[in-house]
Amino acid sequence: MLTEKLLDSAKSLSDGIVALRRAIHAEPELGLHTPKTMAKVREALADLPLTWREGTSTTGQVATLEGARPGRRVLLRGDMDALPMDEKTNLDFASTIEGRMHACGHDTHTAMLAGAARLLCAKRDEIEGTIDFMFQPGEEGYHGARFMLEDGLIDPLPDAAFALHIMPNAPFGVLAGRPGPLLAAADQFTITVTGQGGHASMPHDCVDPIPGAAAIVSAVQAMVTRRFNAASAVVVTVTQIHAGTTFNVIPDSATLNGTIRTLSPQHRIKARELIAETARNVAAAHGLAADVEIVEGFPVTICDPRAVELGKAVATEIGGDEGWRDLADPIMGAEDFAYLLEKVPGAMFFLGVANEGEDWRSCCAIHSPRMHVDENALPKGTAMLAGCALKFLSEGFVS
């Protein structure tokens, strides 16, 4: 049994976890190349018996701990990149770089993973097997996990993989998860509607793309409700409409941008095909042409039921029955940890970091410029990551 001793060990590392989190938060980096963040991690873990490897596509690195005896292999992952947005928290350690903020908690993910590495290194003599610590940039739409896989940094593949994601609008210290689809696949689309522009006073001499574009927005929503079973989670959202240059000119074209969120590979393919079909047919009905471009995003994040049960057991051993919550439904956000879970069994879990004692329902969510994290929850995340590794190495999955 892990009992409370693992959490006590993580709490003893709290100062270091928080210090690393704040250092990363103050100097956020974007995309696939986060060298300053990676350097902070390497410095924080420089005294540990880890071997490091890095690839060419990103600045991400994998640190490996070899246990005292051979056994299974497990991977723990933390992402490192920030978002291109201004911070409005007024924290003492707020972003010092204009237009960049750690608003998705990746600073905490990295710090908790570093804490888990230190905790597990201290237990090396008790460990049978190998632990990989994956410090990954480029999660925010850049496919960093896929690039690290392609670079061979996750070779050999582990027998299981685990990750955590904080939730600032979830109860303090509570861990949550679910088997099967946890997060959606997320693709992007661009629909370019082309007609023939001219003077706004003489639309009869033009082929106006704007009414056709507006009709496509409505038709796409109807397509979702009429071509998919109502019990199927498919979300298609038009988020941008661009057309025209001034008030008295009908433009030649209009552009629609948006996202497609699905929870199965089959619906993902079908939604792409139907969006293209709908756009072209509606455009043709208006005498227009429509070109549809789909940019493939992350796949569905599917958690292995055995890995979820293992995580639930760890969470309750650490925090009691109140320390775990079963998620009834998937969340329609997306995560590139999905690339790992396509190849190996594993799971991602959520950690509530709302201020302890406050109403978590009123807290800002991730991607808010005012997002706040109660750092007292971070040792819980460190203990959870370390506990999943230890439990899997010692027991494996229960079939």
| Rounded average pLDDT per 10-residue block, the chain, 399 residues | 78 97 98 98 98 96 97 98 96 96 97 98 95 98 97 97 96 95 96 97 96 97 92 92 97 97 94 97 98 96 98 93 93 96 98 87 88 95 97 91
In total, how many domains does the chain have? 2
- 258: domain CATH number is 3.30.70.360
> Apex CA 17: angle with CA 11 and CA 22, to 5°?
140
- 71: domain CATH number is 3.40.630.10
Out of 247, 272, 295, pick the residue that ends a domain. Answer: 295
Q: Which residues contact 322 (CB under 8 A, 6 or more apart)?
A: 174
Out of 261, 295, 329, pick the residue that ends a domain. Answer: 295
Q: Quote the pLDDT of residue 2.
A: 54
Q: Which amino acid is at 188?
A: Q
- Residues 166, 215 within the same domain: no
Give the pair of three-digit tokens for residue 339.
Answer: 């690339």
- Residues 346, 234 within the same domain: no
Q: Quote the pLDDT of residue 249.
A: 97
Helix, strand, coil content of the chain in percent (nearest 5):
35, 25, 35
Q: Which residues are registered as beta bridge partners of 240? A: 257
Q: What's phi and psi for 58, nearest 5 deg?
A: -140, 175
Q: Quote the pLDDT of residue 360.
A: 81
**CB contact at 8 A, 258 and 239:** yes
Q: Quote the pLDDT of residue 232.
A: 82
Range of the domain at 162: 5-182+301-395
Q: Which amino acid is at 54?
A: E
**CB contact at 8 A, 369 and 85:** yes
Say which DSSP state 203 is in.
G
Cis omega (within 30 of 0) for bond into 156: yes
- Residues 192, 130 within the same domain: no
- Residues 326, 242 within the same domain: no
Give the pair of three-digit tokens for residue 224.
Answer: 């979702």
- Residues 174, 218 within the same domain: no
Q: Quote the pLDDT of residue 35.
A: 98
- Residues 226, 153 within the same domain: no
